[in-house]
């Protein structure tokens, strides 16, 4: 803006090439938005039991092949127990949980192994490949607690949470690339600042909340599997109380991939009436009791 000799205001128009540059910056973002819409509608599925829509771009066969390969790698590197009381107990619980999940099982070939390790951990991979670390046994405490642990992990595999995380990570990578192209004519410091803000936003606004929602979904599905398998679901909140005692100093929930122990206990108690109804209607009292 400037004044002419007669005191009138004159407005300086932006050069045409600068206006075009600003519009061109939006093209990658627009194209990414259109691709995102197509990608979502062409790759979404529905999670069994919860009805939540999810984004998955791997076929079941691809996912199961990756799960089998990962499982073999883990077993080759760990001390796998071949027999013994705990091995039989884990396999018995696993078979009952797999049977309880038969209506949503996509055709997994279930395999249950015990790994001797101080890690308080367990996992289930696509294809039905399950491992329990001996370090979690003292926290599980009894077969009902161990069923809660294994039911949760089995739910992750059935709900395709691993494949869903991979799909969202791809989207974030592609979105970051689109943003980088859109910011290409900005200064280096400006690009770093914007990219850093996008990285933090995707981590704390998308990936971490997304991971916590997976954990809650697996808690719910696992609780129902436990009740269907005639293990007492009331042990699940007790399990997480013991988990809380073992993990003092955990990060705040919004900084974590998992809900807080308090949140998990609260949610499990909210779902408990449904689980108890299944348990009481289908299971004899002498099949499973809290020890």
- Nearest-CA neighbor of 92 among 108, 107, 115, 112? 112
> Which is catalytic among the residues 88, 109, 116, 153?
153
Contact 122, 130 (CB under 8 A): yes
- Nearest-CA neighbor of 81 among 6, 135, 161? 135
The rounded distance, in Å, linking the Cα atoms of 145 and 166 is: 30
The rounded distance, in Å, linking the Cα atoms of 261 and 267 is: 10
Work out the angle between the directed axes of helices 235-246 and 143-158 (0-180°, nearest 10): 90
Verify whether residue 153 is a known catalytic residue. yes
Rounded to 5°, angle at Cα 91 from 87 and 94 = 140
The rounded distance, in Å, linking the Cα atoms of 43 and 34 is: 14
59 SS3 class: coil
φ and ψ at residue 14, rounded to 5 degrees: -70, 140
Rounded to 5°, angle at Cα 214 from 235 and 149 = 30
Contact 140, 239 (CB under 8 A): yes
Half-sphere exposure of 2 (CA within 13 A, CB side): 4
CB-count exposure of residue 143 (10 Å: 0-12, 13-18, 19+): buried
Question: So which residues are the catalytic ones?
Answer: 153
């Amino acid at each position: 803006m400037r004044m002419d000799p007669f005191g009138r205001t004159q407005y300086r128009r932006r050069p045409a090439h600068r206006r075009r540059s600003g519009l061109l910056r939006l093209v990658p973002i627009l194209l990414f938005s259109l691709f995102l819409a197509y990608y979502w509608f062409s790759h979404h599925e529905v999670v069994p039991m919860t009805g939540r829509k999810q984004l998955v771009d791997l076929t079941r066969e691809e996912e199961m092949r990756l799960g089998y390969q990962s499982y073999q790698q883990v077993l080759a590197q760990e001390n796998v127990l071949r027999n013994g009381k705990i091995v039989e107990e884990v396999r018995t619980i696993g078979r009952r949980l797999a049977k309880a999940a038969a209506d949503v099982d996509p055709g997994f070939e279930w395999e249950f192994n015990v790994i001797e390790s101080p890690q308080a951990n367990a996992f289930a991979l696509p294809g039905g490949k399950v491992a329990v670390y001996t370090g979690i046994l003292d926290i599980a405490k009894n077969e009902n607690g161990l069923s809660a642990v294994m039911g949760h992990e089995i739910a992750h595999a059935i709900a395709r949470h691993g494949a869903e995380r991979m799909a969202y990570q791809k989207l974030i990578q592609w979105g970051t690339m689109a943003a980088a192209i859109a910011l290409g004519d900005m200064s280096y410091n400006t690009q770093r600042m914007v990219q850093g803000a996008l990285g933090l936003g995707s981590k704390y606004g998308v990936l971490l909340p997304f991971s916590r929602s997976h954990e809650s979904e697996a808690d719910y599905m696992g609780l129902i599997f436990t009740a269907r398998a005639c293990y007492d679901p009331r042990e699940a909140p007790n399990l997480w109380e013991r988990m809380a005692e073992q993990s003092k100093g955990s990060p705040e929930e919004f900084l974590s991939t998992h809900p807080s122990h308090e949140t998990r206990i609260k949610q499990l108690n909210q779902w408990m009436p449904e689980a108890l109804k299944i348990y009481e209607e289908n299971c004899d009292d002498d099949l499973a009791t809290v020890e």
